[in-house]
Structure 1
Amino acid sequence: MTAPRRPVAVLGECVADAFVAPQATDAAEGPGLRLDVLPGGGPANTAVALARLGTPTHLVARLSGDVFGGLFRRRLAESGVRTDLCPDATEPSTLAVAGLGPDGAAEYSFHAENTADWQWTRAELAPVAAARPAHLHTGSLALVRAPGAAAVEELLAELRPTTTISLDPNVRPLLVAPAAYRARLPRWCALADLLRLSEDDLAHLHPGLAPETACDTWHRLGVPLVVVTLGGAGALVSYDGIREHVPAPPVRVVDTVGAGDAFTAGLLHRLHQAGALGGRLDTLTPALLREAVAFGTTVAAATCAVRGANPPYAHELTSSIT
């Protein structure tokens, strides 16, 4: 009997995404603003998408006891995400208020000071190493917001000998200046096996720099695999300097919330299925990488076709690609 593969862990924030609801036409409702609140946060979205695809997944997040924390817990449980590595936090949850632009892209304002997500201690993270995940995915604000960022970096260094590491900077300039991400990128590239970022991230980190040139820079800093997602144009894959463009399937976009997180989940799901996670990506072949990235674009497209960060379950994708 084949031994079960070690699980994947995703470390980072849960965020309450409050979307501005359509303006009411009934004047009797009076002035005001209605918000529809959905559970979100890049790392949480990635964990949910992975679990829905069938990958055994732990989320490592500091979950508040407030009303939003309850919302997060319900979504995680319903999606099959394991939360046994999530400490209970006394601080409030992070809130992001999002309006949608004409292209369906979200435009955020954040309420994130002194919230639960950034207060990590090494003691809280110690159980993650004991869980022996095959892969740890992290990034977004967990790697740059004090006081917890240093503890997260220490965990990556501790896990690296037996765990594949992937990072998604998910630059949020309204909360952290891009220069802070830029300063930490050399350390992250030295720790990571996979760097996944969007073209928006690239524009914040290296304005005007071609994606291929940026990939070469990050390879020199130590990360072997870089994937730059390009929205509807697919993804640029650079594996130790060998590059390929993988197209995305056509989709009628409702909004793009959570699309990059869903892409990452699809990619990691395929690599986990193939037994490629758990070390330095030594068994990765060009064919497997191409297929995994293509699957990631399919999962991202399915997420763009619905409102909010609501990635598909495996049975909702066509049997030919699952």
Structure 2
Amino acid sequence: MTCIAVIGETVADAFLPAEQATPGALDLRVRPGGGPANTAVALGRLGAPACFVGRVSRGPIGALLRRHLTDSHVDVSRVVDAAEEPTLAIAAVNAAGQARYSFYAAGTADWQWSPDELAASTPDDAVCLHAGSLALALDPGGPLIERLLGDRRGAATISIDPNIRPGIVPLDRYRDRLPGWAAIADILRLSQDDLDLLYPGRPLADLCEQWHADGVRLVVVTRGGDGATASLNGERFTVPARPVTPVDTVGAGDAFTAGLLHRLHQGGALGGKLDALDPDLLVRALTFASDVAAETCRKPGADPPWPADLTL
């Protein structure tokens, strides 16, 4: 069976409690995270044929991250057993459920791809290649992933989620690289927060027009509680968000992407340049993705739902 291959990082998310229980100490609860890994986990739990392409470190954190993937039915047969240290993110969640991260990522395993290692780890028969986040923005691995996606475009649907992290990657680097990503992406998913950081005040219609001109067929912008808007070759669609009282919003955007790709795969739209994608399938996929994201917000950390959790 052809798979949806997710290329990118898996990160140890260390959450700060609202109140420190131990004076003079920093109490942390470590959970598996990383935008691409979150997407792969959500895909696997939904029943999609998900394959993770990443470099996972050794030791107890690496074992936690790898087990999280396998327990969620993600194929990890192509994961590289990396000698470098794992990436760590310390997350503080505010009263609205939004997380602010401090990353410890210099020289860690996720970014140290070589061209031969990346090519050998990426399945040739993938129906879709999804990438983004820090793995696409950081050197030395980012340019290698971008080149591989460009080489595979046409045979596989290329999905990119920039997942802006200004605390570790300068915004100018995203602005410089986004045109190149748009030139190879069939699906480009961003959050409203991403747009506000990168292009404050610029109308979405103008951005979509530019990205469509670059070659993107489907642009999707998620707006949290305000739902999601998509532009398919210039035709606009909007779906509402399912009302939910969030525990936090960690991983919600990644889960949305997984729900979208899962439904598009079920509808036979993946495997090329989205020629088979019609408005009816798109709206159904966006609605399902919004429900998957909402359910993810009901649990702490990036803990996307299983099918039994979705009352649809």
Q: TM-score, normalised by structure 1?
A: 0.94
User: 1:103 and 2:96 equivalent?
Assistant: yes
Equivalent of 2:10 in 2, 6, 14: 14
Q: Any idea what SS the aligned residue of 2:32 has?
A: strand
Q: Any idea what SS the aligned residue of 2:301 has?
A: coil
Gaps of 5+ in 2: none
- Give, in whole Å, the separation in 2 of the partners of 1:187 and 1:164: 16
User: Any conservation in 2 of the 1:23–1:33 contact (CA below 8 Å)?
Assistant: no
- Give, in whole Å, the separation in 2 of the partners of 1:30 and 1:186: 49
Q: How does 1:1-322 map to 2 (within 5 A)?
A: 4=1, 6-24=2-20, 29-318=22-311, 321=312
- Give, in whole Å, the separation in 1 of the partners of 2:4 and 2:240: 26
**Letter in structure 2 aligned against 1:18:** A
Query: 1:308 Cα shift?
Result: 0.7
- Give, in whole Å, the separation in 2 of the partners of 1:60 and 1:152: 11
* CA displacement, residues 131-173 of structure 1 (integer Å, 9 cap, x when unaligned): 3100000000111111111210111022113100000000111
- Give, in whole Å, the separation in 2 of the partners of 1:34 and 1:43: 26
Q: Any idea what SS the aligned residue of 1:170 has?
A: coil
- Give, in whole Å, the separation in 2 of the partners of 1:285 and 1:223: 15
User: Any conservation in 1 of the 2:99–2:248 contact (CA below 8 Å)?
Assistant: yes
Q: How many residues align?
A: 312
- Give, in whole Å, the separation in 2 of the partners of 1:185 and 1:24: 40
**Letter in structure 1 aligned against 2:24:** P
Q: Any idea what SS the aligned residue of 2:188 has?
A: strand
Instruction: Report the more deviating stretch, 141-150 or 126-135.
Output: 126-135
- Give, in whole Å, the separation in 2 of the partners of 1:52 and 1:33: 33
Query: 1:233 Cα shift?
Result: 0.5
- Give, in whole Å, the separation in 2 of the partners of 1:111 and 1:61: 18
**Letter in structure 2 aligned against 1:10:** V
User: Any conservation in 2 of the 1:134–1:277 contact (CA below 8 Å)?
Assistant: yes
CA RMSD, 1 decimal: 1.2
- Give, in whole Å, the separation in 2 of the partners of 1:24 and 1:162: 51
Query: 1:128 Cα shift?
Result: 4.4
User: Any conservation in 1 of the 2:5–2:122 contact (CA below 8 Å)?
Assistant: no
Query: 1:130 Cα shift?
Result: 4.3
Q: Percent identity at matched positions? A: 54
Query: 1:86 Cα shift?
Result: 0.9
* CA displacement, residues 158-190 of structure 1 (integer Å, 9 cap, x when unaligned): 211310000000011111111101111111111
User: Any conservation in 1 of the 2:53–2:122 contact (CA below 8 Å)?
Assistant: no
Gaps of 5+ in 1: none
**Letter in structure 2 aligned against 1:46:** T
Instruction: Report the more deviating stretch, 147-156 or 293-302.
Output: 147-156
Q: TM-score, normalised by structure 2?
A: 0.97
Instruction: Report the more deviating stretch, 208-217 or 290-299.
Output: 208-217
Query: 1:210 Cα shift?
Result: 2.2
Query: 1:75 Cα shift?
Result: 0.5
- Give, in whole Å, the separation in 2 of the partners of 1:94 and 1:54: 28
